[in-house]
Amino acid sequence: MTFPAERLGRSCPVLCVILLATPASADQSVSLDSLQISAGARVFSQSCLPCHGANSPSALDLTDPIELHRKSPTAAKIVREGVMPPWLPSEMGAPLMHSRKLSDVDRTALLEWLDHSGPGKVPATEVLPPPSQNCELIVRVAENWRVGADPGLTLRSFALSRDHAIDRHAAQYFNAVELVADAPGLVHGISFLWDELGYGARLDASDPAPGYDAVGDIGLNASGSGGGVSRLSTLWRLPKGYAIEIPTDAVLIAEVHAEGRGKVESPAATVRFLAPTEPFKPVHAVSVSAARVAMIATACEAVSISIRAGAHVKSIDVFAKDANGHSRCVLNIPRWNEALSEPWIFDPPLALDAGTELFVRSTVNEVAKDTLVDANASAMNQPMIVLLVADKDADLIREK
Ligand code: HEC
């Protein structure tokens, strides 16, 4: 259900939207420890620990020295074979930031470390310095939702009213989103949409339980057009010089993906939207699916790409076909893993000329081919791709 603004102030003190007037953190110093560990250990920390720490997506905790000691030979073997890190976009697509892809130099350093000095010495998980930006707003997401014990991903959407304390007349922008989950690892990902029409709020209100049982898309606007975070990318940040507008009076829709872990748990999380610190171009969403080719009308720069696709999807390709009919691959994921999905940032931003057509090709596994599915499941078999793009010639916006 939705929480109308007038109820917020009185009875839901922690809920929904709080305005932070002060900068997020005054302390911007970064620990020097990370500079003292070897290159291989640093690669391990950056490329492996996001999935192999405590509470992370795989059951294997390599921050445990005994486990690391035991698994080092296997780890070295599968890194040599290119098995780990897994499920990443391939080199065929456009370059991405923080893709955890190993360069040759990094792979050599990691193998050296795993072979010789790794066991027993576990580098601390890479901790990002606290964002030094002003926080635009904080929301509590999925409050009061309980995820059951059964494994298997579940999805639920939530409509979150904005507190009337926020100055509605001021244009508001953000260029980063930070996820702090109450129970880390339980929530796989949250994608956002700013709903100006109120459909999401109505759906939420008509469902007696918290949230509603459908994807967060509103009409042709796909969830993810307001950015997204995942347990692998808890701080999602657009490149400098780009930001997303929060439309006046819009309701925030959060589409939450979580997975049971053997007990009933609350996937509630705190999400912070961070204001841009320098002049920027506003971005808007372009969504693409098998059923929907997107046409780029004005030359633009794509800065972010996110995907929603179910467990039966096997591979995903996104192509850009220019006005001369020449196609290039923008994103290629040879082996899709729903449980390890995350939003990606193009680095550098991807130039798309006017007249470019974006389209998707994907395959599904044998299970999906053999099973008759309902409309919901069949939608999840068709990846929904959201690109955030800025018009190439857009004027820079400077917020006061
Ligand atoms: C995107 C997430 C992800 C990343 C990044 C990742 N792994 Fe894994 N890894 C997994 C998953 C999932 C498994 C399957 C085992 C499980 O479910 O726990 C696994 C399994 C393993 C295993 C056990 C294999 C076996 O046969 O016993 C080792 C060792 C391993 N990974 C090492 C690494 C190393 C070294 C890196 C860094 C180069 C790495 N992983 C990066 C997700 C990841």
- pTM value is 0.85
- Both tokens of 183, joined, read 């129970």
Characterize 331-364 residue by residue with b for buried, 16 or more Cβ atoms within 10 angstroms of its Cβ, and e for exposed.
Answer: bbbeebebbbbbbbbbeebbebeeebbbbbebeb
Atom number, ligand 1, closest to the C-alpha of residue 48 = 37
Cis peptide before 119 (omega within 30 of 0): no
Q: Ligand 1, residues 56, 78, 101, 230: which to mutate, most atoms within 8 A of Cβ?
A: 78
For 208-221, how does the pLDDT look when each residue is reduced to its tens digit (9 = 90+)? 999 999 999 998 89
Is the separation of the CB atoms in 246 and 359 below 8 Å?
A: no
pLDDT of residue 123: 66
Ligand 1 centroid–CA 109 distance in Å is 18
Question: Measuring from atom 9 of ligand 1, which residue has the nearest CA?
Answer: 58
Q: Which residues line ligand 1 (CB under 6 A)?
A: 47-48, 50-52, 57-60, 71, 74-75, 78-79, 84-87, 100, 340
Question: Measuring from atom 30 of ligand 1, which residue has the nearest CA?
Answer: 75
Question: Measuring from atom 12 of ligand 1, which residue has the nearest CA?
Answer: 58
Ligand 1 centroid–CA 233 distance in Å is 17
For 222-264, how does the pLDDT look when each residue is reduced to its tens digit (9 = 90+)? 999 999 999 988 999 999 999 999 988 889 999 999 999 899 9
Where are the alpha helices (H) located in the chain, listed in sequence order? Answer: 5-11, 33-36, 39-47, 49-52, 65-80, 104-112, 199-206, 366-370, 375-380
Ligand 1 centroid–CA 156 distance in Å is 28
Ligand 1 centroid–CA 107 distance in Å is 15
pLDDT of residue 164: 34
Question: Measuring from atom 29 of ligand 1, which residue has the nearest CA?
Answer: 75
**Mean pLDDT computed over 79-96:** 88
For 8-61, how does the pLDDT look when each residue is reduced to its tens digit (9 = 90+)? 333 333 333 333 333 333 333 334 344 445 788 888 888 898 889 877 778 889
Ligand 1 centroid–CA 56 distance in Å is 11
In degrees rounded to 5, what are phi and psi of residue 277? Answer: -105, -5
- 162 pLDDT above the threshold of 50: yes
CA dist 187 and 270 (Å) reads 11
Q: Identify the residue with better confidence: 386 or 17.
A: 386
- Of 153, 121, 288, 287, the C-alpha closest to 231 is 153
Atom number, ligand 1, closest to the C-alpha of residue 114 = 35
CA dist 194 and 78 (Å) reads 42
Residue type, 343: P
For 286-298, how does the pLDDT look when each residue is reduced to its tens digit (9 = 90+)? 999 988 999 999 9
Q: How confident is the model at residue 127 (pLDDT cuts 50, 70, 90)?
A: low
Sequence-ordered list of residues with C-beta below 8 angstroms from that of 203, at least 6 positions apart, any chain: 157, 159, 212, 214
- 362 pLDDT above the threshold of 90: yes
Atom number, ligand 1, closest to the C-alpha of residue 71 = 29
- 324 pLDDT above the threshold of 50: yes
Atom number, ligand 1, closest to the C-alpha of residue 232 = 1
In degrees rounded to 5, what are phi and psi of residue 338? Answer: -55, -40
Question: Measuring from atom 15 of ligand 1, which residue has the nearest CA?
Answer: 58
Rounded percentage of the chain residues whose pLDDT exceeds 70: 83
Tokens 């204001």 locate to 275
Cis peptide before 89 (omega within 30 of 0): no
Q: Are strands 187-195 and 251-259 parallel, antiparallel or unpaired?
A: antiparallel
Q: Identify the residue with better confidence: 201 or 2.
A: 201
- 390 pLDDT above the threshold of 50: yes
Ligand 1 centroid–CA 312 distance in Å is 21
Ligand 1 centroid–CA 184 distance in Å is 18
Atom number, ligand 1, closest to the C-alpha of residue 44 = 37
User: How crowded is residue 161: how many other Cβ atoms within 10 Å of its Cβ?
Assistant: 22
Q: Ligand 1, residues 46, 55, 56, 60: which to mutate, most atoms within 8 A of Cβ?
A: 60
pLDDT of residue 128: 58
pLDDT of residue 122: 66
pLDDT of residue 240: 94
pLDDT of residue 171: 54
Q: How confident is the model at residue 368 (pLDDT cuts 50, 70, 90)?
A: confident
**Mean pLDDT computed over 111-119:** 76
Ligand 1 centroid–CA 58 distance in Å is 7
Ligand 1 centroid–CA 82 distance in Å is 11
- 168 pLDDT above the threshold of 70: no
Question: Measuring from atom 34 of ligand 1, which residue has the nearest CA?
Answer: 48
Atom number, ligand 1, closest to the C-alpha of residue 47 = 37
Going through 143-250 in order, the beta strands assigned E by DSSP cover 153-160, 172-174, 176-181, 187-195, 228-230, 235-237, 242-246
pLDDT of residue 286: 97
Rounded percentage of the chain residues whose pLDDT exceeds 90: 52
Neighbour-count burial of 220, counting CB atoms closer than 10 A to its CB (0-12 exposed, 13-18 middle, 19+ buried): exposed
Sequence-ordered list of residues with C-beta below 8 angstroms from that of 205, at least 6 positions apart, any chain: 1, 2, 159
Ligand 1 centroid–CA 115 distance in Å is 17
User: How crowded is residue 275: how many other Cβ atoms within 10 Å of its Cβ?
Assistant: 19
pLDDT of residue 163: 52
DSSP bridge partners of 194: 252
Ligand 1 centroid–CA 224 distance in Å is 27
**Mean pLDDT computed over 98-113:** 86
